[in-house]
Structure 1
Amino acid sequence: MTGLLIRGAEVDGALLDVRIGHGRVLETGHALPRADRAEHELPAHGGALLPGLTDHHLHLFATAADLASTACDPATVHDARGLAQALRRAVPDRHGWIRAVRYHESVAGELDAAGLDALRGDVAVRMQHRSGALWVLNSRAVAAVGLATAGHPGVERDADGRPTGRLWRADGWLRGRLPSGDPPSLAGLGRRLAGYGITTVTDATPDLDAATVAAVSEAMACGELPQRVHLLGAPLHYASRPGPRPGPWKIVIADSSLPGYDQLAEAVEAAHRTGRPVAVHCVTREALLLFLAVLEEVGALPGDRLEHASLTPPEAVPVIRRLGLRVVTQPGFLADRGDDYLRGTPAEEHADLYRCASLRAAGIPLGLSSDAPYGPLDPWAVMRAAVGRRTGSGAVLGPDERLAPAQALAGYLSPAHSPGDPPWRIRPGTPADLVLLSVPMAQALPLLDAEAVRLVLLAGRPVAGDDLGYT
């Protein structure tokens, strides 16, 4: 494509012209002349020009599948009757299955196969809990996947040894027993992410197989997924090539059953021996303290990360700082599930939920993310949650942990390889992964709204916005 000259954009507080070509920022300055007659000119009218946003933790294929599934979250279906109606309206896929997502027991209680049968039993149904840790299968689905003879430790059984239909942390096992088919298209998700201004994503799905890595690579190559991609679950000995890049090695400390100390230590050391840092899923206080104890013994590697840090006691903060860890957290959960936290978490622990301000104050690099599909995908909504920390009912969880709007935005502007670092600055030679807003920063920061995104460029190529044709 020919070059682009953006005129009068706000860059680091100054109004500048920015010339883009060959996938990079070529020049910045005042009243720059056009390079040639073919160069497009785009008046920015003082709108802020930012580096592209990075979602530091999401799940690509799970989010794509979620967008095509039956939503069963409390905001969509309010009770058992609404859930039954949603499942009855759902159209089975070509294999005769219904996939439902984001269920929470506040809708219709703790469901098992029999409970799901009562809601819809004529076709195979699998329903994912909104935590992502649990699948509930109805009786037809239980029979279809052979749950009665399954040896996976996540298969829940009753006192007589029969499967209840509840399956914990067994995504890979379940996937291997479902009707074969292509992974969901990433095209719709790629467009939605681009519309938010996201130009880079880190997929946090653990233990990716070669086929999944290849599917991500193909989606990037054909343009379905325009974003740059880092994979926490890329195999330990994954060799970088065109396409997704490996990130730190993902280790999940399961919420329901902690691994043994030696088991976790060996997993961390195995990654470190290959030169890969680790990104460790820590949702509970016990999981966090176990991981910190392991690192105190085996040693940390630069780039080691805490994923979620959902409950961080204050005494853990200086340890995290001393070990040099980064934290990637999701304050969007406060807006999405905060009222559940109010009911289910002791009041004295409310400040420990998704800490932000105290981590930054301690000098701990802090990256923000969605954890989609389990949390809100919109980065601007996550930023607003980090600033307000308000639940759906309007209560404030941990007011001292609020971020200033600019700090929340910085959590999405830090580079994928080093979440929490300062954003890269728009200078000649930097990649033209850019977001042009329709308003200056003074207007954008109080709102933190995706509606302000006017144009998104990735390597200088327009991927979203009303100015795709530079009209």
Structure 2
Amino acid sequence: MASGYCDDHLHLLACAAARGSVDVRDAVTVDELLATILRAVDAVVAARHRSSWLRVWGYDDALLAERRHPTVAELDTVTERVPTVLHHVTGHVTVVNTAAGRALGLASGDVLVERHDLLAAVPRPDRGEIVAGVTEVLHGLADAGISACTDATHTNDLTALELLAEASAGEPAVDVTAMVGADQLDSLEGLVFGDAVPPSGTAADEVRVRIGHAKIMPPHDDDSAIADLVATARAHRFPVAVHVMDIDTLQATLDALEAHPPLPAEMASSAPVRIEPDRIEPDRIEHCALALPEQLDRIARLGITVVTQPSFVTRRAQKYREQLSPTEQAWLWPLASLLRRGIRVTLSSDAPTVPPDPAEWIEAAACRDLAPAERIDPERARELCLADR
């Protein structure tokens, strides 16, 4: 087991893409955001690369003064005919200008939520650039004292895992576990949970990427799909990790996990899983941003691990105060409540949304203002970040 910190939930390819994008995280108004994009467009036009696509990343509608997404019409005023894709800091929402929308076959100016199927058509850097970018991200993790990480991207398939394996060969100080989308498990071609994914020409003892949980991202506003995705993962003998940001999704997730329990240990030897029975991982809930006390009780009974990001409660405190009632605020990003119930908890960043900085997670866990009853001791918080715990 690696020594050092573990960032147990991040997105390596998204981190690399963010590094190569126009960064608008510092914009506090829509006008400031548009001004930053205009400067980038001017550079594209000056370089006579009008056919180039412009990728912009990092805005948060909840933190802009206007409390809204930029519109397609606003993007059009500063992007001319340069196809432009504006990504929310979370990666779950996108706005594209008319030129990009036309190229992607869109007939409207709607904000895109979780439309990775459409965005897959946006031109990408070549494989070598992507691999180099991910390796640079891994270098940054190593510099931050992080020796292990979990890529929790729900679109991961075998191609993505092989790319991560190639990139990780350039930074042997960081061990990578990569989840696979629950709807992408057929792409693994015989590889299973716990298997290594070596880049070509790499010795087995140099492997730094292993296959992790089946990741479930509930379709937007449709939690009914969770149970079917859990059943799919069980058919492949995978534990699951479910993206959970609200009470309703948590309820649907707990119902699905109860209806489709993990593979019993006594069946492991006959199942096509090449790991020892005592190493079968529990299911995971990613984020657990809002939870009722009785739901936390169910998490404990089911033996589920919670992988959470305390930085969200400090970075988005203003949003939560504006949008949640005092009662809901008390249920926000539980931490102490999880630990009191004996639930296994790990801390993480969700990078690139939040920087992969364990010192920040520890401070947020210990010093949060919202729901202060959920604070924990700094040393306990540090233990929840360790790779070898």
What is the TM-score when the length of structure 2 is the normalising length? 0.82
- Give yes or no for contact 1:367–1:414 (8 Å, CA) kept in 2: no
- Give yes or no for contact 1:186–1:224 (8 Å, CA) kept in 2: no
Q: How does 1:328-339 map to 2 (within 5 A)?
A: 328-339=307-318
Cα distance in 1 between the residues matched to 2:146 and 2:125: 31
Residue 128 of structure 2 corresponds to residue 128 of structure 1: no
Q: Indicate the residue corresponding to 2:222 in structure 1.
A: 258
1:59 maps to amino acid? H
Cα distance in 1 between the residues matched to 2:71 and 2:385: 38
Q: How does 1:378-417 map to 2 (within 5 A)?
A: 378-389=357-368, 396-415=369-388
Q: Indicate the residue corresponding to 1:189 in structure 2.
A: 137
- Which residue of 61, 72, 85 maps to 2:13? 61
Quickly say closer, same or farther: Cα 1:199–1:327, change in 2 above 3 A: same
Q: Indicate the residue corresponding to 1:232 in structure 2.
A: 179
Quickly say closer, same or farther: Cα 1:228–1:414, change in 2 above 3 A: closer
Quickly say closer, same or farther: Cα 1:323–1:400, change in 2 above 3 A: same
Q: Indicate the residue corresponding to 1:147 in structure 2.
A: 106
- Which residue of 88, 103, 119 maps to 2:59? 103
Cα distance in 1 between the residues matched to 2:52 and 2:74: 20
Report the alpha carbon displacement of residue 259 of structure 1 after superposing the two structures with TM: 3.1
Map Cα deviations across residues 382-417 of structure 1 (whole Å, 9 max, x no partner).
11111111xxxxxx11101001111111111145xx
Count of residue pairs brought into register by the alignment: 342
Q: Indicate the residue corresponding to 2:203 in structure 1.
A: none
Report the alpha carbon displacement of residue 274 of structure 1 after superposing the two structures with TM: 2.2
Structure 1 unaligned segments of length 5 or more: list them. 1-23, 25-49, 149-162, 390-395, 416-422, 424-471
- Which residue of 248, 251, 264 maps to 1:286? 248
- Give yes or no for contact 1:125–1:137 (8 Å, CA) kept in 2: yes
Q: Secondary structure at the match of 2:384?
A: helix
Report the alpha carbon displacement of residue 107 of structure 1 after superposing the two structures with TM: 4.6
Q: How does 1:38-187 map to 2 (within 5 A)?
A: 51-73=3-25, 76-90=26-40, 91-92=43-44, 96-105=52-61, 106-108=64-66, 109-148=68-107, 163-178=108-123, 181-182=126-127, 184=130, 185-187=133-135
Q: Secondary structure at the match of 2:316?
A: helix
Q: Secondary structure at the match of 1:164?
A: coil
Q: How does 1:349-428 map to 2 (within 5 A)?
A: 349-389=328-368, 396-415=369-388, 423=389
Report the alpha carbon displacement of residue 313 of structure 1 after superposing the two structures with TM: 1.1
1:178 maps to amino acid? P
2:382 maps to amino acid? L
Q: How does 1:430-441 map to 2 (within 5 A)?
A: none
Choose between structure 1 and 2: higher strand proportion. Answer: 1
Structure 2 unaligned segments of length 5 or more: list them. 199-206, 264-280
Report the alpha carbon displacement of residue 122 of structure 1 after superposing the two structures with TM: 3.8
- Give yes or no for contact 2:215–2:242 (8 Å, CA) kept in 1: yes
Cα distance in 2 between the residues matched to 1:276 and 1:294: 14
Report the alpha carbon displacement of residue 351 of structure 1 after superposing the two structures with TM: 2.0
Q: Indicate the residue corresponding to 1:312 in structure 2.
A: 291
Report the alpha carbon displacement of residue 350 of structure 1 after superposing the two structures with TM: 1.1
Quickly say closer, same or farther: Cα 1:169–1:225, change in 2 above 3 A: farther
- Give yes or no for contact 1:59–1:373 (8 Å, CA) kept in 2: yes
- Give yes or no for contact 1:145–1:178 (8 Å, CA) kept in 2: no
Residue 161 of structure 2 corresponds to residue 216 of structure 1: no
- Give yes or no for contact 1:186–1:225 (8 Å, CA) kept in 2: no
Map Cα deviations across residues 89-117 of structure 1 (whole Å, 9 max, x no partner).
22449651221112122255332321211
Quickly say closer, same or farther: Cα 1:170–1:226, change in 2 above 3 A: farther
Report the alpha carbon displacement of residue 180 of structure 1 after superposing the two structures with TM: 6.2
Report the alpha carbon displacement of residue 225 of structure 1 after superposing the two structures with TM: 6.5
Report the alpha carbon displacement of residue 142 of structure 1 after superposing the two structures with TM: 0.8
Report the alpha carbon displacement of residue 217 of structure 1 after superposing the two structures with TM: 1.0
Cα distance in 2 between the residues matched to 1:172 and 1:342: 34
Cα distance in 2 between the residues matched to 1:81 and 1:112: 12
Cα distance in 2 between the residues matched to 1:267 and 1:77: 38
Cα distance in 1 between the residues matched to 2:259 and 2:343: 20
Report the alpha carbon displacement of residue 283 of structure 1 after superposing the two structures with TM: 0.6
Choose between structure 1 and 2: higher helix proportion. Answer: 2
Residue 295 of structure 2 corresponds to residue 295 of structure 1: no
1:173 maps to amino acid? L
Identity rate, percent = 32
- Give yes or no for contact 1:330–1:368 (8 Å, CA) kept in 2: yes
Cα distance in 2 between the residues matched to 1:398 and 1:414: 27
1:217 maps to amino acid? A
Q: Secondary structure at the match of 2:180?
A: coil
Q: Secondary structure at the match of 2:177?
A: strand
Report the alpha carbon displacement of residue 297 of structure 1 after superposing the two structures with TM: 2.2
